Structure 1
């Protein structure tokens, strides 16, 4: 008989039931988390962990690139920005440069905060339009 980890069950359910917008938010949060782990690894001179966490950040950025809907003009701009972030992550990995990771963290945090506002505005519009239907 296996004992389930309640936190892991919650985390799995959160991911499975999340909307596409919430999943994007989770990707941004994950990227920020891994960038912070990479910064700590550089400070601790742990090259293996630095590489691992920067690669995890790159994987998230690449996932964000793949999920862009290129029929929207903003997507072309986002693609360029994601490509820039990806190149900076490569450079940070090669140079073990915390300042580059801080730049990446700042950009991704800005994207995450903007995305969070978009989700909140969409929820407000959805609930405002449903008020008259009750």
Structure 2
């Protein structure tokens, strides 16, 4: 039996996810969210509607997961964060359905900002 590069990558990811802290898991989600948004924008700009849809639907699934696990009343600004996630969902839909490059760019900017903010928060929390 031959182990392919994808098999090795999947085994590594499985081990990484299984041993990650909650903060690390959150960062992984945001990193993938930003990657999906970037790929979706590139596909949108190239006129590849199928790839745009694939990437943005996956990004929406990540945001849905973030929304479903957010304890709105359990954290400062929880309601505002939920509203931001809702806005992000709407902009992804606009980028996807209307082939709106401007919305796609905004999605990329927002996801990068969220990723970087959560990374910084995790770094600060680890120092305490």
Asked whether the two chains share a fold, i.e. TM above 0.5, the reply is yes
Is 1:120 aligned to 2:123, yes or no? Answer: yes
Root-mean-square deviation (Å): 1.5
Q: CA deviation at 1:60?
A: 0.7
Q: SS at 1:120's partner residue?
A: helix
Runs of 4+ in 1 over 6 A off after TM superposition: none
CA offsets per residue over residues 48-90 of structure 1, 9 Å max, x none? 1111111011111111111101222411110000000000111
TM-score (norm 1): 0.85
Q: CA deviation at 1:24?
A: 1.1
**Higher radius of gyration, 1 or 2:** 1
Number of the residue aligned with 1:91: 94
CA distance in 1, matches of 2:96, 2:8: 35
- Mark the runs of 5 or more structure 2 residues left unpaired by the alignment: none
Q: Residues 37 and 59 of structure 2 are in contact (CA less than 8 Å); yes or no, is this contact kept in structure 1? A: yes
CA distance in 2, matches of 1:75, 1:99: 27
Q: Residues 37 and 111 of structure 2 are in contact (CA less than 8 Å); yes or no, is this contact kept in structure 1? A: no
Q: SS at 2:10's partner residue?
A: helix
- Mark the runs of 5 or more structure 1 residues left unpaired by the alignment: 126-134
The match for 2:112 among 109, 118, 121 is 109
TM-score (norm 2): 0.89
